[in-house]
Amino acid sequence: MYWEQEKECLARPELLQLQLGRLKKTLRKVGATVPFYRNAFSKLKLDPGKVKSLDDLHRFPFTTKQDLRDNYPYGLFAIPLREVVRIHSSSGTTGMATVVGYSKNDIANWSDLVARVLCGAGVTADDMIQIAFGYGLFTGGFGLHYGAERLGASVIPISAGNTKRQIQIMQDFKTTALVCTPSYALKMADVMMDMGINPNGLSLRFGLFGAEPWSEAMRVEINERLGIRATDNYGLSEILGPGVAGECRECNGLHVNEDHFLIEIIDPDSLEHVAPGEVGELVITTLTKEAFPVIRYRTRDLTRLLPEPCPCGRTFVRVNRMMGRSDDMLIIKGVNVFPTQIESILFDVEGTEPHYRLIVERENNEDKLTVMVEVVESIFFDAMKKQRAFMEMIKKRMASELGIGVDVKLVEERTLDRFDGKGERVIDKREL
Amino acid sequence: MRVEQIAVFLENKSGRLAEITTILADNNINIRALSVADTADFGILRLIVDDVEKAQNILKGGGFTVGKTDVLAVEVADKTGGLATVLRSLHSAGINVEYMYAFVNKTGENAVLIFRFERMDEAIEVLLKDGFTLISGAQICAL
């Protein structure tokens, strides 16, 4: 099942030709309108007008999340604000958030790209889609919503949270497709059991999951427990949101929407391309974005190309499900969390370099983050009421700045190991 | 009027209290009074000792998180209602107790109540006005 068959099954030579044309246009556009790119290109004496092949892109510089932050909020927009019809923002503290914009055409493309992903998973206009991603600045909710509407399916925009109500609605409204994070799907299965609801009695057939790393074992469990076919989809707000890539019914890797995105897989240390099939960091260049084009964006997501043709007939290359991160970002309940965010909150309340450790676990199919903090004199109180109020204050601050609830555990001084690398401060016990 | 108290942060791990008291004993520091407030994960140990400076330095050196706070020590006759009269006096003046603990001195005639207030100066004023006896750290150690 295809949404735009002529595009999704375009012969490779024609696809590469289309990509080259769009790449040239994008490079010329950002070189002319975005000072950040103009300066970066001129520093390297790169002329977008002289690009002759897709390989020429490799001479152009990478764009990083830090570049996006440095140009907060609108510095990388390639069109005037009055032509921007939508703003989204990635999770993160106010200081660390990244802002992206969409033109009317961007929204239209976004809708089609997500419709492709839905179609690829087997969803049709006859389906009732329950979207349990948050609606708001996060791209997940709206992205899937547009795609589902574009497809002509019926949308239940329930947003995230309130699991019992989700299940009640799923039962009463006869939901056939569920959109959420894979761990939330498993949580729903748990809650259904508690409520005495047999998933086989529901109308549910499809699950489209994304926004966090998962595994084949989780897919098998979801499929068995909910009696559905679970497919993976991938996207990131810096590039578009959902709709960058999605699995077809073969459930064997995600097709990248290559007519809109050019991908590379690099070694995160040497920054050179890895051999086809080798694991590396996914780098994406947008080919059609108007408001927020990005050149060679380092996603920090690790994956590998699956170069063999797919039996589904799509010619778009597949990538493996995301296999991890090349930085220390954690994805907790679908929210991006950097240890540095927690560090800066602790630094702020302690007034000194904090010693802490982060423990990530999955309890009852729900991610749980515990921050262990060594108690120094500045955060130690002789009255229990004050000590507890202090803990509550940190919890609240972390919840509001990180966007997820955390548990705080106070430990004695000098009991946490000292590390040189900040990545070692994180103990991720989740077994996916 | 005020008495210096040290507070130590303790994780709820077996043997921690024994460790602290051993360190103090090894350094000839005498504990005059103590209390522990605890939750499932951690506790706050409060101590009145005969050498506050030394105890603080030794415990810090031993890797403990130590704080120093002023508390008040009220001496009352060790008989029924002794504590109640003090608390009534504070209550009628609208002064809240943050925490308190008590001990009876060796002769068994008097009890010593250790109080921590948020508004220490006001508490001192009220207690003196109502005729209670406040004793110093040196006096506690001499008991």
User: Residue A419 has what pLDDT?
Assistant: 60
CA nearest to A244, candidates A113, A124, A136: A113
Q: Which residue of A has its CA nearest to B100?
A: A383
Which helix (H) or strand (E) element contains residue A394? helix A384-402
Flag if A382 and B69 touch (Cβ within 8 Å): yes
Give Rg (Cα) of chain A: 22
For residue A351, count other CB atoms closer than 10 A to its CB.
10
Residue A104 contacts B, CB cutoff 8 Å: no
Distance from CA of A423 to the nearest CA of B (A): 25
Cα A274 to Cα A239, A277, A278, A303, A348: the distances in Å are: 22, 8, 6, 11, 41
In tens digits, chain A (432 residues) has pLDDT values of 899 999 999 999 999 999 999 999 999 999 999 999 999 999 999 999 999 999 999 999 999 999 999 999 999 999 999 999 999 998 654 446 789 999 999 999 999 999 999 999 999 999 999 999 999 998 999 999 999 999 999 999 999 989 999 999 999 999 999 999 998 999 899 999 999 999 999 999 999 999 888 888 889 999 999 999 999 999 999 999 999 999 999 999 999 999 999 999 999 999 999 999 999 999 999 999 999 999 999 999 999 999 999 999 999 999 999 988 888 888 898 888 888 889 889 988 888 778 899 999 998 888 999 999 999 999 999 999 999 999 999 999 999 888 889 999 999 988 887 665 444 688 889 877
Using one digit for the tens of pLDDT, what is the confidence trace for B71-108? 999 999 888 898 999 999 999 999 999 999 998 877 77
Work out the number of other CB atoms within 10 angstroms of the CB of residue B7.
23
- Note which residues in 171-190 of chain A have CB less than 8 A from chain B: none
Sorted by sequence, the CB contacts under 8 Å of residue A186 that are 6+ apart come out as: A218, A221, A222, A225, A365
A43-50: list long-range contacts, CB under 8 Å, 24+ apart: A48/A24
- Note whether A381 contacts B67, CB cutoff 8 Å: yes
Interchain proximity B42–A384, CB inside 8 Å: no
Q: Which two tokens stand for residue B55?
A: 């105890």
Most B CBs within 10 Å, among A359, A379, A382, A408, to test the B interface: A382
CATH topology of domain A81-327: Rossmann fold (3.40.50)
Smallest CA–CA separation between B37 and chain A, in Å?
Answer: 7
Q: Is A17 on the interface with B (CB under 8 A)?
A: no
Quick check: B56 contacting A, CB < 8 Å? no
Which of B65, B96, B101 is most worth mutating to test chain A (most A CB atoms within 10 A of its CB)? B65
Which residues of chain B neighbour A382 with C-beta distances below 8 Å?
5, 7, 44, 46, 67, 69, 99, 116
Contact A412 B64 (CB under 8 A): yes
Report how many Cβ contacts below 8 Å link chain A to chain B.
52
CATH superfamily of A332-428: ANL, C-terminal domain (3.30.300.30)
Tokens coding A227: 């009696």
Contact criterion met (CB < 8 Å) for A380 and B41: no
Q: Test A412 with B5 for CB contact under 8 angstroms.
A: no
Residues 6 or more apart in contact with residue A26 via CB below 8 angstroms: A285, A286, A287, A288, A289, A293, A295
Where does CATH 3.30.2130.10 sit in chain B? 2-69, 70-142
Beta-carbon contacts of residue A342 (< 8 Å; ≥ 6 apart) = A356, A358, A371, A398, A402, A406
Nearest to A61 by CA among A33, A87, A31, A91: A31
Local structure of A283: helix, strand or coil = strand
Looking at residue B141, its pLDDT comes to: 81
Closest CA to A206 of A133, A265, A152, A128: A128
DSSP string, A132-153: -SPPSSSHHHHHHHHHHHHHT-
Contacts 24+ apart (CB under 8 A), B114-120: B114/B3, B114/B5, B114/B33, B114/B35, B114/B48, B114/B71, B114/B72, B114/B73, B115/B71, B115/B72, B115/B73, B115/B74, B116/A382, B116/A383, B116/B5, B116/B69, B116/B71, B116/B72, B117/B72, B117/B90, B119/B95, B120/B2, B120/B70, B120/B72
Strand segments (E) across B61-96: 66-77
Task: Report phi then psi at A214, rounded to 5.
Answer: -145, -175
Contact call for B39 and A411, based on CB within 8 A: no
> What residues of A are in contact with residue B66 (Cβ under 8 Å)?
377
- Best CATH choice for the domain B70-142 from the list 1.10.8.60, 3.40.109.10, 3.20.80.10, 3.30.2130.10: 3.30.2130.10
A303 — alpha (psi -120 to 50), left (phi > 0) or beta?
beta
Q: Percent of chain B scored above 90 by pLDDT? A: 76
Distances (CA, A) of B138 to A22, A233, B99: 85, 72, 22
Domain ranges across chain A: 81-327, 332-428
Q: What is the mean pLDDT of residues B28-52?
A: 93
**Domain boundaries B2-69, corresponding CATH code:** 3.30.2130.10
A86 pairs with which residues across the strands?
A: A102
What is the pLDDT, as a whole number, of residue A96? 67
